[in-house]
């Protein structure tokens, strides 16, 4: 049987993540004793090249501040709160800010709204690094919700001006649902769609590919929320499997599928997708 393997055109790193990776490589070449504050993406495979360049991972602020050997700190694409950046600078660390430009816009928007007296409602995941960074730009009158009913659990002052923004990687359908419910419940609310459209483009393009093939393979790390969301969407269209490495592939189980599609989330590197493609071509 002659097999056809097709890669989704939009699969892989979003522009913000790609930019952060490329710049981190250059930083590593010119600056020793460099760390990255938190994982660049939720994908162990994609992080290997960064560590091979000599950059070390530090997961907490205290780790960085207390390590006198660390001179340079890379801020990952998710961004960090401004008070943490100030603390790093005050402790003599040189900052390389690789915050995604779209995330930076949300941070500055949140600050502007907060300064103007709005209670900022962030649609996102409470402890996600991007959300923690955005919250840091607001005053204390800020809440994070994943669904409309979460508002009932807060001490939000409904008599103040309200503004809804979003973590950039959240689901657009859910954002619209929450927006509609808020619109029907509060007259004093403004809406700002701060979602990134790149994950949506990946999903749309992958669904197009799924309709043309017999099997879809989603490549990425299962810790990645956007890659898991991509997998969930595709399973409703076509038989789909989720793999992190070639070790997850059982060749005997996919030999009956002549046309195979490959895709990956915004935290999946092209190298990871290509390695799966090469493995399939060699073993099918």
Cα angle 38, 200, 41; round to 5: 15
**CB 256: neighbour CB atoms within 10 A?**
9
- Determine which one of 130, 147, 244, 253 is catalytic: 130
In this structure, are residues 110 and 122 in contact, taking their beta carbons and an 8 Å threshold?
A: yes
Helix axes 15-30, 101-115, angle to 10 degrees: 110
Q: Using CA atoms, how far apart are residues 129 and 148, in angstroms rounded to an integer?
A: 21
What is d(CA 55, CA 84) in angstroms, rounded to the nearest whole number?
Answer: 20
**Do you know the residue count of the chain?**
284
Q: Is residue 86 flagged as an active site residue? A: no
Contact 196, 14 (CB under 8 A): yes
Active site residues: 130
């Amino acid at each position: 049987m002659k097999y056809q393997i097709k890669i989704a055109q939009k699969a892989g790193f979003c522009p913000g993540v790609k930019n952060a990776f490329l710049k981190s490589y250059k930083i590593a070449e010119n600056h020793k004793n460099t760390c990255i504050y938190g994982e660049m993406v939720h994908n162990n495979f994609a992080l290997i090249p960064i560590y091979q360049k000599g950059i070390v991972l530090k997961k907490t602020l205290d780790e960085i501040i207390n390590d006198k050997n660390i001179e340079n700190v890379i801020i990952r694409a998710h961004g960090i709160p401004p008070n943490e950046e100030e603390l790093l600078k005050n402790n003599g660390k040189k900052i390389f800010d690789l915050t995604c430009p779209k995330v930076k816009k949300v941070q500055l928007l949140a600050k502007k709204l907060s300064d103007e007296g709005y209670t900022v409602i962030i649609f996102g995941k409470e402890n996600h690094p991007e959300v923690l960074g955005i919250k840091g730009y607001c005053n204390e009158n800020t809440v994070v919700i994943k669904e409309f009913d979460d508002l009932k659990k807060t001490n939000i002052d409904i008599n103040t001006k309200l503004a809804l923004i979003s973590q950039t990687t959240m689901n657009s359908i859910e954002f619209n649902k929450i927006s509609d419910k808020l619109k029907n419940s509060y007259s004093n609310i403004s809406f700002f769609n701060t979602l990134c459209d790149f994950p949506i483009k990946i999903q749309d393009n992958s669904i197009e590919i799924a309709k043309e093939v017999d099997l879809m393979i989603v490549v990425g790390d299962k810790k990645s929320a956007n890659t898991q969301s991509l997998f969930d969407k595709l399973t409703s269209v076509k038989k789909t499997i989720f793999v992190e490495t070639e070790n997850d592939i059982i060749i005997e189980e996919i030999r009956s599928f002549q046309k195979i599609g490959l895709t990956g989330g915004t935290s999946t590197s092209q190298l990871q997708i290509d390695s799966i493609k090469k493995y399939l071509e060699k073993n099918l």
